[in-house]
Amino acid sequence: MLREVSDHFKVLTLVHKSIDTMVEGLSQEQWLHRPNGTFNNIASIIDHTSRVEKKFMSAISGQALDIDTQAPFKQNHWDVPAIQQAWAETLPYSRDVLERLTESDLEKPGLSLRVGDLNRRQLIVYTVGHTTHHRGQIPLVMKLFQG
C-alpha cells in the first residue's frame, strides 16, 4: 500500500475500532432505540456509514457502485444482524481497494459530491472524515438512551 494511503487507512482503522468498542455488547433494542422517537438510531448510523464507505471506496477502485446511502434514514425497520455484518465487511473491503492503488490512480476522478468534484486521493480523505463524523454521533445517541 502506498505510504500516503497507508497513513489514511491507519486512521480509518482506528475510527472503525473505536466504533466497534462503542457498540460492543449493545442489545438489539439499544441498536434500534430512536431517542425522542425521531433521532437516528445506532443501526441507521452504522448502516449509513457502511454504505457510504463502500460507495466511496468503490469509486476509488474505479468501479463505482450505485448505493442508496440515505436509505437507512428513511426506514422504520432495520435488520441489525445484516447491518453488523455489512459493517464488519466494510474495513476489509476498504483495505482491499486501497492496497491496489498506484500513485497515478490517486489523481484520477473519484466522485462529484456536494462539496465538489473530488479525485481519488481527496475521496480517501473525505471517506475518513465522513466515518469519523458519524462515529461522533454514536456516543450522543447512547447518552440519550442511557438517560
Domain ranges of the chain: 3-146
**pLDDT digits (tens), the chain, 147 positions:** 999 999 999 999 999 999 999 999 999 999 999 988 889 999 999 999 999 999 999 999 999 999 999 999 999 999 999 999 999 999 999 999 999 999 999 999 999 999 999 999 999 999 999 999 999 999 999 998 876
Which helix H or strand E contains 20, and what residues bound it? helix 3-23
Query: Residue 118: left (phi > 0), alpha (psi -120 to 50), or beta?
Result: beta
CATH 2.40.30.10 fits domain 3-146: no
Angle at 46 between CA 44 and CA 51, to 5 degrees: 95
